[in-house]
Amino acid sequence: MGSLGTKVCGVNYTEVADALQPDDPFSGPVKSIAPWNFKVLAAWMVVITSLSLSENFLVMLVTYKFKQLRKPLNFVIVNLSVADFFMSLIGGTLSVVTNYRGYFFLGSWACVLEGFAVTFFGIVGMWSLATLAFERYFVICRPLGNVRLRVKHAALGLLFVWTFSFIWTIPPVLGWSSYTVSKIGTTCEPNWYSGDLHDHTFIITFFLTCFILPLAVIIVCYSKLLRKLRKVSNSNRRLVNARKPDQQVSTWTPYALFSITVTIHPTIYLDPILASVPAFFAKTAAVYNPIIYVFMNKQFRKCLIQLLSCSSNTTVEMNQSTDRAGMTGESNSGEMSAIAARIPAASTSSPKPNEEHSNSCSYSQLPIPENKVCPM
């Protein structure tokens, strides 16, 4: 099937020599797709966008209202909510109106805006999860000994996330590759479909730096973290669980695999509806990220209930007993610092044989200082 690559106001799209494709993706819908399909997608995006905006706004509001939630280990979690909020605000809203009309009627400027916004905030979210994994590894495994995670460390992590994400999502706006209308014609994305070497170099580099690299960081950090916790669990049976690697990876993986497949085989035929599934599935990450990383946190839930009950008190009491806290790390990621308080640094000498039993038995009765507990 022959194809001709063209550019309209910086937007590259492919005119397919097929009667089922419109001559201009900004002028009409794909003729092979029944109109009711677009209405279903519009309704789906209304639900996803509404849930994402409300959930992530609550995360930001509660964190602002309650001072004890503003801890260094929580900065990256709030950062994830900020990225998801703006991805839904811009990309989700545009997707609702374009799917309702059945095609990207807003023109090339809006295509560039949506393509950049969804990609940029999506990569910010991906690297936020990688940063979160590294910070948990830093807090628990203490690779630098007694050096603790401070505000300046967390701030530098966020600066890296936003700067790195911007560096790898702005090139298509400036001319290295482009943002193009998708096969379904109602959303915009990086130009996976071009067979040009100029576009291929960007897509492969983008795939390596914005998916493979953060995924590798997550896998390595959680592997080391779980190995450390298993060692500690030998002396304390309560430390047997830890949060599994982040779930956002599972939603972006199909989209990443689809993208690299199309890049390698740009002439492959894909049904427009089938080709759109990975992209729409990836956008659901903005809905369940707050549920997994925030709403499952006990202290956050207490703060949220207190906020919704219109209470003027902005301080929530915390259990300082590790016995009550449970130290599972599964439902309360803020307990990472509490666990770290009970794990000696790598430079600490090993206890003598006659002291091991008494030390392991006393762990569960040690109070956690308030400044050692990160609520998320």
Position of tokens 């940063």?
Answer: 131
129 pLDDT above the threshold of 60 = yes
What pLDDT score was predicted for residue 360?
40
pLDDT confidence of 322, banded at 50, 70, 90? very low
Print the SS3 string covering 262-315. Answer: HHHCCCCCCCHHHHHHHHHHHCCHHHHHHHHHHHCCHHHHHHHHHHHCCCCCCC
147 pLDDT above the threshold of 60 = yes
What pLDDT score was predicted for residue 171?
95
What pLDDT score was predicted for residue 235?
56
Q: Average the pLDDT over 179-199 and give the result.
A: 88
Mean pLDDT of the chain: 76
356 pLDDT above the threshold of 50 = no
pLDDT confidence of 79, banded at 50, 70, 90? very high
What pLDDT score was predicted for residue 112?
94
pLDDT confidence of 265, banded at 50, 70, 90? confident
350 pLDDT above the threshold of 80 = no
101 pLDDT above the threshold of 80 = yes
What the block records as the tokens of 178 is: 């482009």
**Which domains does the chain possess?**
3-350+361-372 (1.20.1070.10)
What pLDDT score was predicted for residue 30?
85
Burial of 73 (0-12, 13-18, 19+ CB in 10 A): buried
Which 8-state DSSP code applies to residue 312?
S
- Closest listed residue to residue 141, CA positions, set 285, 242, 212, 62: 242
pLDDT confidence of 3, banded at 50, 70, 90? very low
273 pLDDT above the threshold of 90 = no
Higher pLDDT, 288 or 43: 43
55 pLDDT above the threshold of 80 = yes
